[in-house]
A = this chain, B = another copy of it.
Amino acid sequence: METPILRMAGEPEDSNELYIKREDLLPFSMGGNKVRIGEAFFDDMKQKGCDCMVIYGSRHSNLCRVLSALCKSRGVPCVMICSHEDGEEQEITNNTLLVDWTGTEIVHCRKQEIAAAVEEVMNRQKARGMAPYYIFGNKYGTGNEGTAAGAYAEAYKEIREYERRRGFSFDYIFLPSGTGATQSGLICGKLLMGGEASIMGVMISSREYGRAREVVREGVASYFEKTGKSLPEDYQKEIHLLDQYRQGGYGRYDVRIEACVREVYCRDGVALDPVYTAKAFWGMKEYLKEKQVEGKKVLFLHTGGGPLFYDYLTKREKASL
């Protein structure tokens, strides 16, 4: 389903035209980019002849929420491996509550023990006679980069069609960059379908910059390999990653991002969450200011995360009591 692209009110001092693509309105499990990506993983699982899903993410994971709901609605068993950072507070999130509703088993592990946890769960499911599918490939989480990227290579078409209808080109597309799959996909789309926009991933996690770039590159290369298309030699010039707005890493934010959440809701009635979308939106605004970008058409990809918005709303309220 196509999601709308809408003009944002912006601040009075903005000289740029801001637009937002509302992936948060995808009509399944609270929406978000992970709906498209989850569907792509699901199709890939079936193509590979597997009958059981093994998923991985943190307690904030939107992907795990969507995949657990997809599996439940289609009668496919699902196990989630949920990693925790050392010293992270163990508060329950809306996303893990929803994963729990679907009957998905949650296996907890420390951030350093993911590979071992994946291996154990895969072996256990095999011993039960199932053919498990780990969404990220091998136990180290590599080998399946092209699948998730494919979803946004497709979605990029909608942006191109919007540009054609409106008779203009975006100069920039900003989005939160976490796993890198959505960004890889958009880059694939641009390489295949053309377009003027620079695709700008705003890093929201603590992933090391060089590694993050490499993951986006792998996603692009892997999608082209998978689909048998020929990859332009200079494709790496399309990878733009901003690492200066992550405020200490994944899940961390300060009052500037909190103000952004509230301001965007009050100006445009759009809910952003501080872990992903508000951090990226704030980073985008800072970038445009710092680089003195003016008079441009700028698209922000709202990648969803409604449950995290409400985690924040409720937590903030508790804190102020």
| Residues of A in contact with B (beta carbons under 8 Å apart) | 1, 4, 6, 9, 22, 25, 27-31, 66, 69-70, 72-73, 92, 94, 97-98, 101-103, 262, 265-271, 306-307, 310, 313-314, 317
Contacts and interface: CB of A to CB of B under 8 A. Distances in A.
Contacts of A92: 317
Contacts of A98: 265, 313
A4 B27 contact: yes
Given A314-B94, A317-B92, A102 B266 contact: yes
A79 B25 CA distance: 29
Contacts of A25: 25, 27, 31
A307 B269 CA distance: 13
B310 A269 contact: no
A317 B27 contact: no
Nearest to A92: B317
Contacts of A101: 262, 265-266
Contacts of A94: 310, 313-314
Given A92-B317, A317-B92, A28 B310 contact: no
A266 B72 contact: yes
11 contacts: A25-B27, A27-B269, A69-B266, A69-B269, A72-B266, A72-B267, A73-B267, A73-B268, A101-B266, A102-B265, A310-B313
Across chains A and B, which 8 residue pairs bring their CB atoms closest together, nearest first?
A: A28-B269, A29-B269, A310-B310, A25-B25, A72-B266, A69-B269, A22-B27, A102-B266
Contacts of A27: 4, 6, 22, 25, 269-270
Contact of A97 (B31, B72, B313): B313
B314 A9 contact: no
Nearest to A6: B27
Contacts of A30: 269, 271
A70 B267 CA distance: 9
Contacts of A73: 9, 266-269
Contacts of A28: 268-270
A148 B310 CA distance: 28
Given A72-B267, A98-B265, 4 more contacts: A28-B270, A66-B269, A97-B317, A101-B262
Nearest to A25: B25
A258 to B, nearest CB: 11
A104 B39 CA distance: 41
Query: Which of A6, A29, A103, A269 counts the most B-chain CB atoms under 10 A from its CB?
Result: A269
A69 B307 contact: no
Contacts of A307: 310
